[in-house]
Amino acid sequence: MREKQDCLAKMESVTTLLYLGLFLSAWSITTADENFVPKAENVHWVSLDFKTILSWTTKPSDYTYSVLYSMDDGDWSESPDCNRISETNCDLSAHLMPLDRMYSADIQTEPAEFDYNSNVEDLPHTYSPQFNPYRESNISAVEFSVEATNDSKVIVSIKDPVTTLHDAYGKQLSIRDILQKDLKYKISYYKSGSTGKRDIISDSSVANVSKLDSGQSYCFMVAAFIPSRPKATQLGTWSTQQCTYVQGGNVLQDLRLETWVGVAFILLTVLIITITVTVLCCRCRQQRNRTFQTSQSSVPV
């Protein structure tokens, strides 16, 4: 009986300690929150087909963020769509014009409700890395079709990906409208069942792949390729592959040099054998005739 009471008393004190602990930690969290002003962290650019979004992370709070941006280290402009926002990203695509410039952004922490007592100058802000959309925006995988012609060729027709940008007349721009002569396509293909891959680079969106073996299947993959860019951002995402069967047009025309050499070699061998056999036979017959004549003349009947 006594032991049981002791035990209960002990349990009670443990529980009290636990509550005290919980209370203390809760109190310390609340006081920390009061002084805590969150700052934009991990600021980075995410850009696909020239749609460029500034993105960051932060700790949950009542504070909001305003985004400023500047071109080539010039003056800072406010982004009207990203003023005192609680989201942690900002689509700056419409403001990063012209595209081939170096842009920076600055993300400022602001109180949710404007507090005239607080000193805005003291609030933290974070600069973004620099970004050039023309040179660094990723290019998505392209759509394309393949068509085999009757002369051992395949025509690859590529659809230039469209962007979210529009020109002054409201026409939606494709990546070709933006990159123009800088845009090439890399076409990678292989003969079905073989491991060797071949690459060609096409200046235009329609490419002819020739000198294919007829009567074979070929598979093709395409990616945007911008050789004027830094190495790391030259190649767009590879498309999924498309395969097609290459028809035999004129079979004699399609024969390769090796085949012709083989045919010539066989013909030559046959010719040599024929000549040799003919010569040998003739000699044999001549000899037999001579022996016959000799025996005829030497043996009088």
Ligand X SMILES: *[C@@H]1O[C@H](CO)[C@@H](O)[C@H](O)[C@H]1NC(C)=O
Q: Binding residues for ligand X, per CB under 6 A? A: 45-47, 136, 138, 150-151, 249-250
Smallest Cα–Cα separation from 110: which of 121, 102, 99, 100?
121
DSSP 230-252: -GGGSB-PPPPPEEEEEPPSSHH
Residue with smaller CB distance to ligand X, 97 or 266 = 97
Residue with smaller CB distance to ligand X, 18 or 46 = 46
* 158 vs 63: CA distance, rounded Å: 47
Residue 84 buriedness (CB in 10 A; 0-12 / 13-18 / 19+): middle
CB of 175 to ligand X, least distance (A): 15
Cβ pair 126, 43 in contact under 8 A: yes
Cβ pair 131, 52 in contact under 8 A: yes
Q: Would you call 114 helix, strand, or coil by DSSP?
A: coil
CB of 197 to ligand X, least distance (A): 22
> 110 vs 63, 89, 124, 128, CA distance in Å?
6, 15, 9, 17
- CB crowding 233-260: b at 16 or more within 10 Å, else e: ebbbeebeebebebeeeeeeebeeeeee
CB of 53 to ligand X, least distance (A): 9
Residue with smaller CB distance to ligand X, 70 or 140 = 140
Q: Would you call 164 helix, strand, or coil by DSSP?
A: strand
CB of 137 to ligand X, least distance (A): 6
Residue with smaller CB distance to ligand X, 135 or 176 = 135
Smallest Cα–Cα separation from 104: which of 74, 134, 80?
74
CB of 116 to ligand X, least distance (A): 39
CB of 186 to ligand X, least distance (A): 17
Residue with smaller CB distance to ligand X, 83 or 234 = 234
Residue with smaller CB distance to ligand X, 250 or 276 = 250
CB of 250 to ligand X, least distance (A): 5
Residue with smaller CB distance to ligand X, 111 or 249 = 249
Residue with smaller CB distance to ligand X, 25 or 150 = 150
**Helix H segments across the chain?**
2-35, 133-136, 175-179, 251-254, 257-298
Cβ pair 106, 128 in contact under 8 A: yes
Residue 147 buriedness (CB in 10 A; 0-12 / 13-18 / 19+): exposed
CB of 273 to ligand X, least distance (A): 36
